[in-house]
C-alpha cells in the first residue's frame, strides 16, 4: 500500500480524525449490491442471496442496499443473473438519492458508464419517462447496455458522445447527474494503487473537463430543475472549486446549492476556504464523505438548483414545447401484429402491455421501450428499449430478457417451478415436473419458467413415457456447472 500520509497529507486539515481516516482508507471495502425494485423487494433479494450462501447486511442509510464481504462475487449469483440486483459501491448510491428523479421525468446522465447510477435513476423512475445516458466511450456503454437488459429497463437510451459537446437543442432536462471522471482518490480501498498514481497525476487534474461537463449540465437543465455533481475524490480543485466556478460564471441567483439532508449518513460539509482562498459560503451544503465516517469509499456530492435561465437560452425553452421525438417507432400494423402474437402466446392483457411501445431493436429484434421514452434525433442513440422479439424467422420468438420483463404477468404457457427445482433449471439437463406445474401449454411457443413470482427464463416441454420434463432454453453463459 503506498504511503497515504504522503499522497493524501494535503487533506489532513480537512479531516476530523486523521488516524481513523488513514486506517479506513487502507482497509478492504465491503462489496455492495442494490435491489432492483422493478423485480424484487429487499426481502426477496436477501432470500436469494442467502440461498447462495451469503449473509447480506442491510445498509442502514440506503434502503434496498446490502453489504457482502469484500471478497464476495455477487456477479456470479442467480440473483444477479435474473436482474434482482446490481453491484454498486454503497457510497456511490448517494448522488441519485439526492437527485431523487421521479417517474415520467426527463433525466440526463452525462457520464454514465458503466451504468450503475443509470440503473438507479431508471428504476427510481419506475421504468417510465426518459433517461438519456451519455458516455464518451462506446465500449464502456456496452457494459451499461447489457446491465440495462438484465435489469429490464425500457426508459433508457444510450448516446456515445463527448458530454461537453452535446447540442444545446436537446430538450431541457428535469434533472441532470454529472458523475465526472476524476482522480479517484476515494477508491483507494478498492484499488490501493490509485494513491500512487494521484500524487504524480495532480499536475494533470482533469478540471477543465469537469468544468465543461458541469457547464453543459447547467445549460441543459431546465429552470427549476436540479443537477447532482459527484466525484470520488477529495481534491477541492475537482470539487468545490469546480462548483465555485459555475456559481460565479452565471448571473447571481441563477444557480444555488441546496441543503440536501442524507438521513443516517455521516458527512462533512463542503469546504469554504482552501489554501488561503475564501469560497462561497453555500458550498458548505455539499457533502464530503470520508471512508471512516460510514465505512465506505471516499466521495463528494452536491445538489444544485437552476433558478434562472442562462443568457441566450430562449432556444431551449422553445424546444420544450416541440412535440417529443418518439425514436425509431415501428409501423402501427407491425406493432399490432407483435402485440397480438404476445397476447395469444402468453395471455397478456392490454393493460400488461400498455406501459410500452414497440421500437426498432438491435440485431434483428423488435424492442419494447417505455411508452413515454423520448429519444433525441441527434446525436444518434446506440440503443433504446429492450430487445423483445427475435424477428428474423417467420415465427417471432420471445427474447430471454423480455421474458424476465413481462413473464410475471403471463397466464398461458407458464411453468411454475418449486424452490428446489430452481438450481437444476440452470443445468443443461431435462428437469422432471408434475402436470399441475404447467399453466395452459399450447406447445407452439417456449414456456416462461417462474419460481415464487421470479421469472427464470424460457423452457421447452418434453414428454417421454408419460413423464413430463422441461429443458431450459437460455443464453449460453446463463448455464451453471453441476456442483
Ligand atoms: C466516474 S465514471 C462514471 C460512473 C457511472 N456514473 C456509474 O455510476 O456507473 C466517469 C465516466 O465519465 C466518462 N467520460 C469521460 N470524459 C467524458 C466526456 N467528455 N463526456 C462524457 N463522458 C465522459 C468516462 O468514460 C467514465 O465512464
What spacing in Å lies between the alpha carbon of 227 and ligand 1's midpoint? 16
Q: Minimal CA–CA distance to 95: which of 207, 178, 215? A: 178
Can you give the pTM of this predicted structure?
A: 0.94
- Taking the alpha carbons at both ends of the chain, their separation in whole angstroms is 37
Give the C-alpha separation, 254 to 304, whole Å: 10
144 pocket-lining for ligand 1 (C-beta < 6 Å): no
162 pocket-lining for ligand 1 (C-beta < 6 Å): yes
Residues annotated as part of the active site? 232
360 pocket-lining for ligand 1 (C-beta < 6 Å): no
Model pLDDT, residue 318: 43
Instruction: Classify strands 438-439 and 414-416 as parallel, antiparallel or unpaired.
Output: antiparallel
What spacing in Å lies between the alpha carbon of 162 and ligand 1's midpoint? 10
Residues 6+ apart with CB under 8 A from 132: 106, 107, 108, 109, 156, 157, 159, 170, 173, 376
Residues 6+ apart with CB under 8 A from 125: 101, 102, 103, 104, 105, 107, 131, 155
113 pocket-lining for ligand 1 (C-beta < 6 Å): yes
Model pLDDT, residue 201: 57
Model pLDDT, residue 482: 78
Q: Are 176 and 108 in contact (CB under 8 A)?
A: yes
Q: Which structural domains are found in the chain, ordered by start? A: 332-405 (no CATH), 412-478 (2.30.130.10)
Per-residue pLDDT of the chain (483 residues; tens, 9 = 90+): 445 546 789 999 999 999 999 999 989 999 999 999 999 999 999 999 999 999 999 999 999 999 999 999 999 999 999 999 999 999 999 999 999 999 999 999 999 999 999 999 999 999 999 999 999 999 999 999 999 999 999 999 999 999 999 998 887 999 999 999 999 999 989 988 887 766 665 655 679 999 999 999 999 999 999 999 999 999 999 999 999 999 999 999 999 999 999 999 999 999 999 999 999 999 999 999 999 999 999 999 999 999 999 986 544 444 444 444 555 778 999 999 999 999 999 999 999 999 999 998 888 899 999 999 988 877 777 778 899 999 988 888 999 999 999 999 999 999 999 999 999 999 989 999 999 999 999 888 999 999 999 999 999 999 888 899 999 999 999 999 876
> How many CB atoms lie under 10 A from the CB of residue 339?
17
Q: Which of 181, 211, 217 to mutate to test the pocket of ligand 1 (most atoms within 8 A of CB)?
A: 181
Q: Are 129 and 155 in contact (CB under 8 A)?
A: yes
Cell output for 264: 443516517
What spacing in Å lies between the alpha carbon of 229 and ligand 1's midpoint? 12
Q: Are 450 and 102 in contact (CB under 8 A)?
A: no
Model pLDDT, residue 200: 60
Maximal CA-CA distance, the chain: 86
Tell me which H or E stretch contains 135: strand 130-135
Give the C-alpha separation, 167 to 379, whole Å: 8
What are the start-end ranges of the H helices in 163-313? 193-201, 207-220, 240-249, 291-294
Q: Are 347 and 410 in contact (CB under 8 A)?
A: yes
Give the C-alpha separation, 173 to 7, whole Å: 39
The protein residue whose alpha carbon is closest to atom 27 in ligand 1 is 113
Phi and psi at residue 447, in whole multiples of 5°? -85, 150
Phi and psi at residue 402, in whole multiples of 5°? -75, -35
Model pLDDT, residue 191: 86
- Nearest atom of ligand 1 to the alpha carbon of 206: 16
The protein residue whose alpha carbon is closest to atom 15 in ligand 1 is 181
Alpha carbons within 13 A on the beta-carbon side of 210? 27
What spacing in Å lies between the alpha carbon of 393 and ligand 1's midpoint? 38
HEC string for 431-451 = EECCHHHEECCCCCCCEEEEE
- Supply the Cα-derived Rg of the chain in whole angstroms: 24
DSSP letter string over 325-349? Answer: P--SBPPHHHHHHHHHHHHHHH---
Model pLDDT, residue 1: 45
Model pLDDT, residue 250: 93
Amino acid at each position: 500500500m503506498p504511503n497515504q500520509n504522503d499522497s493524501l497529507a494535503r487533506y489532513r486539515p480537512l479531516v476530523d480524525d486523521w488516524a481513523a481516516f488513514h486506517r479506513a482508507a487502507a482497509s478492504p471495502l465491503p462489496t455492495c449490491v442494490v435491489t432492483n425494485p422493478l423485480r424484487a423487494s429487499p426481502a426477496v433479494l436477501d432470500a436469494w442471496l442467502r440461498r447462495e450462501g451469503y449473509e447480506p447486511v442491510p445498509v442502514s442509510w440506503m434502503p434496498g442496499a446490502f453489504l457482502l464481504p469484500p471478497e464476495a462475487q455477487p456477479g456470479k449469483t442467480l440473483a444477479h443473473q435474473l436482474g434482482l440486483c446490481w453491484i454498486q459501491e454503497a457510497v456511490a448510491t448517494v448522488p441519485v438519492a439526492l437527485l431523487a428523479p421521479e417517474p415520467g421525468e426527463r433525466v440526463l446522465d452525462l457520464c454514465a458508464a458503466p451504468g450503475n447510477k443509470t440503473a438507479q435513476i431508471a428504476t427510481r423512475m419506475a421504468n417510465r419517462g426518459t433517461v438519456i445516458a451519455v458516455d464518451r466511450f462506446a465500449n464502456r456503454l456496452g457494459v451499461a447496455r447489457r446491465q440495462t437488459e438484465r435489469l429490464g429497463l425500457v426508459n433508457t437510451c444510450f448516446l456515445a458522445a463527448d458530454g461537453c459537446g452535446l447540442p444545446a437543442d436537446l430538450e431541457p432536462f428535469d434533472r441532470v447527474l454529472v458523475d465526472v471522471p476524476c482522480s479517484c482518490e476515494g477508491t483507494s480501498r478498492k484499488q490501493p494503487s490509485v494513491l500512487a498514481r494521484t500524487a504524480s497525476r495532480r499536475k494533470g487534474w482533469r478540471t477543465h473537463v469537469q468544468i465543461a461537463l458541469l457547464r453543459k449540465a447547467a445549460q441543459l437543465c431546465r429552470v427549476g430543475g436540479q443537477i447532482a455533481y459527484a466525484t470520488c475524490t477529495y481534491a477541492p480543485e475537482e470539487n468545490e472549486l469546480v462548483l465555485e466556478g459555475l456559481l460565479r460564471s452565471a448571473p447571481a441567483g441563477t444557480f444555488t446549492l441546496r441543503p440536501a439532508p442524507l438521513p443516517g449518513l455521516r458527512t462533512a460539509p463542503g469546504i469554504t476556504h482552501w489554501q488561503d482562498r475564501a469560497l462561497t459560503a453555500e458550498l458548505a451544503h455539499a457533502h464530503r464523505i470520508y471512508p471512516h465516517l460510514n465505512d465506505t469509499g471516499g466521495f463528494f456530492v452536491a445538489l444544485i438548483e437552476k433558478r434562472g435561465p442562462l443568457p441566450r437560452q430562449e432556444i431551449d425553452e422553445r424546444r420544450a414545447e416541440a412535440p417529443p421525438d418518439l425514436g425509431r417507432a415501428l409501423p402501427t400494423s407491425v406493432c399490432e401484429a407483435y402485440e397480438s402474437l404476445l397476447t395469444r402466446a402468453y395471455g397478456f392483457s392490454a393493460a400488461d402491455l400498455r406501459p410500452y411501445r414497440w421500437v426498432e431493436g438491435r440485431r434483428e429484434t423488435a424492442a419494447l421501450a417505455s411508452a413515454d421514452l423520448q429519444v433525441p434525433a441527434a446525436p444518434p442513440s446506440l440503443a433504446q428499449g429492450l430487445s423483445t422479439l427475435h424477428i428474423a424467422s417467420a415465427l417471432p420468438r420471445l427474447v430471454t430478457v423480455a421474458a424476465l420483463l413481462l413473464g410475471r404477468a403471463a397466464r398461458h404457457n407458464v411453468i411454475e417451478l418449486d424452490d428446489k427445482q430452481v438450481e437444476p433449471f440452470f443445468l443443461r439437463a431435462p428437469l422432471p415436473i408434475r402436470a399441475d406445474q404447467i399453466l395452459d401449454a399450447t406447445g407452439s411457443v417456449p414456456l416462461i419458467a417462474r419460481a415464487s413470482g421470479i421469472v427464470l427464463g424460457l423452457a421447452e416441454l418434453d414428454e417421454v413415457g408419460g413423464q413430463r420434463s422441461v429443458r431450459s432454453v437460455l443464453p449460453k453463459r446463463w448455464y451453471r456447472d453441476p456442483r
